Amino acid sequence: MKFTCQKTELVQAIQTVSKAVSSKPQMPVLSGIYLKAEDGILELQATDYEIGILCQIEAEVETPGNIVLSGRYLQEVTRRLPGETVEIDFDRQEQIAHIRSNTANFTLLSMSANDFPTIHSLEGNINFQIRDNILKDLISKTAFACSNDEARPVFTGCSMEVHDSTVTMAATNTHRLAVKTEVLDDFNGSIKIIIPAKILGELSRLMISEIPENVAVSCTYNQISFKFDHVYLTSRLIEGQFPDYRRVIPPEFKTRVTMETAGFSSAVDRVSLISRSGDYNVITLEFSNGQVRIFSNNPDIGNAEETMPAVIDGPDVTISFNAKYVTDVLKNITTDKFYFSLNETLSPAAIREPEDDTFTYVVTPVRTAAR
């Protein structure tokens, strides 16, 4: 195998697929990146069996072939090469790859390409397309609310429900819930699956096109694939029953507070500096007299307090939360102002964007010693 390609394109492609390189491989070949060159295309693949990523770039292919090289060293070497183009020449007899760029010359030992579990296109029984900007928004508004507890797999992923032309994504760790709904351009059918949050995070980072483009989605009972631009990503789905999250969303609220997103987020972040060392990172919000008082107390450290203006429509409320559960959602609010909807001191509250009923974030309050 022998080919030449642009260094920047190769580095980007390696960086893309390296997200699927196993850090603790079941077998040595899974620590590598598979390269296949033919017909003017260089294809790179990596997989850890949970996720697989394939990326293609243009290349001048002198001799077609395939090879597996160490993902770690291939990435480090190519990133530091001095030239604008890279030539990779594989000596099959010696099982060594020669990597040349300008004045630099590296050799890397190869692994058997025949042992690599190559990625093949998923033939799903459900197929649809969704704009990448819409999919990215669905992910950013929900995936952060997933749990990190692998002992409860269902909560480590996002539920995706598609019914007719409506797609709804939801995530919860049982203490908070994020739900976002969008409309597909052209789809008639119904699916209900759980996608690992880790895969959705990688997918979101890979969708970097400035102009909205379609992402082709294909599903089977236990796998899902996403195809866009020059990237193809596959993942296992999470098995299990996602909870009926709709029944935990309060049907109405007695108090609605309007606040500036950036100002409130910064204030909560500052006040929570005192509470972060505690088990629950508790801050208390006191909504009254046209303002919100934010305070926290830690007997071993001290206390913090800050106030900011707020438009309060309804009865005054004092309520406590895990500060992280508040700041996490505010990082994903795209409007200058937001609504904080509340009932009683120990009742779930909701955060929404003005004039947008497609997104709802529900957070459970923390019971403090005073309440």
Cα angle value 144/145/151 (rounded, 5°): 110
- Report the domain count for the chain: 3
Residue 125 pLDDT class (50, 70, 90 cuts): confident
Instruction: Name the residue range of residue 261's domain.
Output: 250-363
The angle, 0 to 180 degrees and rounded to 10, between the axes of the packed helices 132-140 and 197-206 is 140
3-state secondary structure of 199: helix
> Is position 78 within any domain?
yes
Same domain flag for 142 and 31: no
In a domain, 16, yes or no: yes
Residue reference for tokens 């997989």: 47
Q: What is residue 189's three-state secondary structure?
A: coil
Q: What CATH number corresponds to the domain at position 90?
A: 3.10.150.10
Task: Quick: pLDDT tens for 331-350.
Answer: 999 999 999 999 999 999 99
Residue 121 belongs to a domain:
no
Same domain, 235 and 290: no
| Structural tokens at position 244 | 């009926």
* 139 three-state secondary structure: helix
3-class secondary-structure state, position 196: strand
DSSP label of 289? T
Contact between 46 and 7 under an 8 Å Cβ cutoff? The reply is: no
Q: 115, 144, 175 — which closes off a domain?
A: 115
Half-sphere exposure of 60 (CA within 13 A, CB side): 7
Residue 371 has pLDDT above 70, yes or no: no
> Same structural domain for residues 35 and 72?
yes
- Do 201 and 154 belong together in one domain? yes
> What pTM, to 2 d.p., does this model score?
0.91
Residue 226: half-sphere exposure toward Cβ, Cα within 13 Å: 26
Residues 99 and 150: their CA atoms lie apart, in Å, by 40
pLDDT band at 184 (very low <50, low <70, confident <90, very high): confident
Per-residue pLDDT band at 369 (split at 50, 70, 90): low
Same domain membership, residue 238 and residue 131? yes
Pair (48, 132) in one structural domain: no
The residue type of 82 is: P
Given a contact cutoff of 8 angstroms between Cβ atoms, the answer to whether 166 and 180 are in contact is: no
Please identify, among 82, 115, 148, the residue that sits at the C-terminal boundary of a domain. 115
Which pLDDT score, from 0 to 100, does residue 278 have? Answer: 64
On whether residue 203 sits in a domain, the answer given is: yes
Choosing from 115, 146, 175, the residue where a domain stops is: 115
Q: What is the pLDDT of residue 370?
A: 56
Highest mean pLDDT among 58-62, 159-163, 244-248: 58-62
Residue 318 lies in a domain: yes
What does the block give as tokens for 103? 């004045």
- Which pair of structure tokens corresponds to residue 16? 């893309």
Residue with tokens 């090879």: 67
For residue 294, is pLDDT > 80? yes
Q: What is the mean pLDDT of the chain?
A: 94
Q: Identify whether 98 is part of a domain.
A: yes
User: Does the pLDDT of residue 103 top 70, yes or no?
Assistant: yes
For position 187, what pLDDT does the model report?
77
Same-domain check for residues 136 and 240: yes
